[in-house]
Amino acid sequence: MKCKVNITNCAALFIIVFSGFYLKTVAISPIYLTTSVGILLYVMVLIKEEHPIFIADYTVWFAVVWLIYILITQSVYLKTSAFYNLLFSILYYIFSFQVVSRVSREKVLCYSKKMVDFSIVLLLFEAVSRIGHPVVKAMQAENNAFYKYKYNSIMYQDSNYVGIFIIVLFFFALYLDNKQNVVMKKERIVLLCLCIATFSRSAIIVILLFGFWLDRSISKSKKIIILFGAIIAGAYFISGYILNDGSFLSKFSIIESAWTFYTRKASLAMQLFGYGLGHSADNIGIGSHNLFVAFIMETGVIGFLLFVTFWLCIAKKTNGKATYVIVPILTAGFSFVQHFLPFLYVVFVIIIALENSNGFLKSNEDVKNNG
């Protein structure tokens, strides 16, 4: 008997599982290839349908509005990688919504676990390669010697980017564990270890802080005791080390520089529409390194409001469950978050699907007939 291949499921597998498969060490990063395969498979599905439709809810339409705004306001500037990375991420949300909406709940959960597991394998290779090939930069302070283990990543510019990827995976795994009864405890332990291996202090703090607080296996009394101890230890750590760390202090100088530029130098048009994605260094003398500074300064107040409203729409659509990922990411964003986030946006789509499965996902029988 012939085994019928479900093309829609194959498209979903490529779009979900490989959403974080980014490598800078090859000519074409694998995520662009896997996305192309996913698009090709989805086009095959549409060709077979008698009346193909564009599947959308208000989050998708808002993503379209945000996309159009970025294209109109940012195209006048010299386009940087940040411009293309943000466009790719928004488009990834819109496209993954089309694919995931046609896949059964069981398959979405299966591919979600595979995404975390595959990403862990990728991150293990990344950590071994980066730590095994340290890069010592000039003027590197002796007490910050661990920085040499942050730079030589096979995935991103440095391990801070890797830390953001791990944050998304960790809290997505926690959501699956807490809300979907998918056992992910081992994966979360490994992701915590991999996060520590990034030496990204903001990522480590975010996972330790929110990870234990959201973990249902830890009693509330223990959480309060641990939190109180963490506050004391954190205060000692900040006063004894972080306040003397140039990288930490630079986060405040960036906010100060951005505020000074915005209030004293920026024109009204620049305040409203920004000065271009990736152009912070040209205007305030340093990269934004801050999610809020990046969107307010680079895309303007209007762009920032679109960004915030889009994420609020996602939180509403998921009945607040997307905050499992949103709150940690926004917290880490005070230190650093990149524009390239397809893995985050596909996670949003998955949570929307799982929290609205009665009206969002098709039944298994419908999926089988979608072949």
**pLDDT tens figures, 66-89:** 999 999 999 888 888 889 999 999
Q: Are 99 and 353 in contact (CB under 8 A)?
A: no
Instruction: Output the CA torsion sign for 96, 23, 303, 69.
Output: negative
Report the chain's mean pLDDT, rounded to a whole number: 85
**pLDDT tens figures, 175-223:** 999 999 999 999 999 999 999 999 888 888 889 888 877 776 666 676 6
**pLDDT tens figures, 88-131:** 999 999 999 999 999 999 999 999 999 999 999 999 999 999 99
* pLDDT for res 370: 44
* pLDDT for res 367: 42
**pLDDT tens figures, 249-282:** 566 777 888 888 888 888 899 999 998 888 888 8
Rounded Cα–Cα distance for residues 98 and 361 (Å):
11
Q: For 231-240, what is the mean pLDDT? A: 56
CA 26, distance to chain mean position in Å, is 22
* pLDDT for res 335: 73
Rounded Cα–Cα distance for residues 353 and 358 (Å):
9
Q: For 56-60, what is the mean pLDDT? A: 94
For 244, which DSSP code? G
pLDDT exceeding 70 applies to what percent of the chain?
82
pLDDT band (50, 70, 90) for residue 2: very low
pLDDT band (50, 70, 90) for residue 345: very high
* pLDDT for res 3: 47
Quick one: which of 77, 48, 68, 4 has its CA closest to 270?
77
Indicate the Cα dihedral angle 173, 176, 182, 183, nearest 10°: 40
Rounded Cα–Cα distance for residues 201 and 178 (Å):
26
pLDDT band (50, 70, 90) for residue 365: very low
Rounded Cα–Cα distance for residues 70 and 84 (Å):
10
Of the listed ranges 61-75, 149-163, 284-298, the least confidently predicted one is 284-298
